Amino acid sequence: MKKLLVTGSSGLIGSEVCVYFSQENFEIHGVDNNQRAVFFGAQGDTRWNQKRLQETLKHFHHHELDIRDRQGVLNLVKEIKPDVIVHTAAQPSHDRAAAIPFDDFDTNAVGTLNVLEAARQFCPETPFIHMSTNKVYGDAPNGIKLKELETRWDYDDANYEYGIAETFTIDQSKHSLFGASKVAADIMVQEYGRYFNMPTCALRGGCLTGPNHSGVELHGFLSYLVKCNLEGKEYKIFGYKGKQVRDNIHSLDVARFMYEFYKAPRAGEVYNLGGGKENSVSIIEAFKITEKCSGKAQVYSYIDQNRIGDHICYYSDLRKMRAHYPNWNITKSVEETIKEIVESWKLRKTA
């Protein structure tokens, strides 16, 4: 039986990957120490997801390990020698990073290096899939000419008809400390691919979402928005009139792409992994869809100050991904995804 090693296995993407590869008859080794609860408090706790995996997946092994523990990571990879590595563990909030700069960099940059070097030493032929972020582009996308529509901002430049491509600059822009630590990790993943000819890729995710997200205010846009809606809690919009746009991709479609890369890996690749223009949504558009799914009015307030480095409009150009992996495409719409998130939060409230 082939073996998968997933860091951040109790998180949104990590857990989805565990389930997907388990269905493809992999033995699953999940690495997680519930650090999300340390970063975000009790509302970020992911133990419920760990328990779900342990109870529902036949060949699942949980490893309580911090990826900053270099020797621990080396020992585990040496012992398992996985057939594929999916690295999703991270400090994921650009707002939170400013308060914990050492923890942020040690987790995102050094932790990634620890896993990469363990792979190079003990299984260099193993496909290494890294969850990067579109924050590696910093606020440079805000320099694209925009047009204001009734419910959203959109690009007013024909060069970006399909969104942001992988050739977009990552240089000379404001990233947030989180964005900077993820740039370091992203470049290291590329370098291990190009310098050592290892099969690696960095997936520059937009808004990754789905029903198994423990969304909080500082991370997890749709999940947190839905949670606020169901609980009648005030959702705070930070700037841009609530018309800021994100492309949202369901965690299942993320896992599906990772499986395609595993089957036909490339060395040192980068992909903008998002929902694309067709799965993009503004905050106020998301309110309307959520209200339709839940039957409850969204309670919100507006703060006329955007978050530092925040994108006004961002959606991914998926043409490179589709060209390299023609068997892959988006299968879950924004509306379908929000409906699943609504049902998931309702179930968790009654559990």
DSSP track, 150-215: SS-EEE--GGGTT-B-TTS--SSS--HHHHHHHHHHHHHHHHHHHHH---EEEEEESEEE-TT---
Q: Can you give the pLDDT at residue 216? A: 67
Helix H or strand E encompassing 333: none
Which amino acid belongs to residue 200? T
330 three-state secondary structure = coil
d(CA 108, CA 104): 6
Q: Which one-letter amino acid corresponds to residue 63?
A: H
Containing 4, the helix (H) or strand (E) segment is strand 3-7
Question: DSSP assignment, residue 107?
Answer: I
Task: Collapse the DSSP code of 42 into the 3-class scheme (helix H, G, I; strand E, B; otherwise coil) and give the result.
Answer: helix
For the four alpha carbons of 165, 167, 169 and 175, in that order, the dihedral sign comes to positive
d(CA 289, CA 287): 6
- Angle between helix axes 47-56 and 12-23 (nearest 10 degrees) is 10
Residue 122, sorted as left (phi over 0), alpha (psi -120 to 50) or beta, turns out to be alpha
Percentages helix, strand, coil for the chain, rounded to the nearest 5? 45, 20, 35
pLDDT value for 36: 81
| The pLDDT value given to residue 219 | 64
> Which pLDDT score, from 0 to 100, does residue 124 have?
98
The CA angle 165-167-173, to the nearest 5 degrees, is: 100
The lowest-confidence range among 3-12, 279-288, 341-350 is 341-350
Give the pLDDT mean for 48-59: 95
**Position with higher pLDDT, 42 vs 172:** 172
Residue 346's pLDDT band, with cuts at 50, 70 and 90, is confident
Structural domains of the chain sorted by starting position, each given as residue range(s) with its CATH number in brackets: 3-350 (3.40.50.720)
How far is the C-alpha of 248 from the C-alpha of 221, rounded, in Å? 9
Residue 214's pLDDT is 67
**pLDDT tens, position by position, 182-195:** 999 999 999 999 99
Query: Which pLDDT belongs to residue 308?
Result: 78
- What's the mean pLDDT in 28-40? 88
Mean pLDDT along residues 9-18: 95
Whole-number Cα distances in Å, 281 to 93, 153, 187, 287, 302: 20, 10, 29, 10, 18
* Spatial CA neighbour of 39 closest among 119, 95, 81, 111: 95
**Rounded to 5°, angle at Cα 47 from 131 and 35:** 50
Tokens 């987790």 map to which residue?
Answer: 107
Q: Is the pLDDT of residue 158 over 90?
A: yes
Spatial CB neighbours of 287, under 8 Å, sequence gap ≥ 6: 225, 229, 242, 298, 300
Residues in CB range of 288: below 8 A, 6 or more apart: none
pLDDT, average across residues 244-272: 97
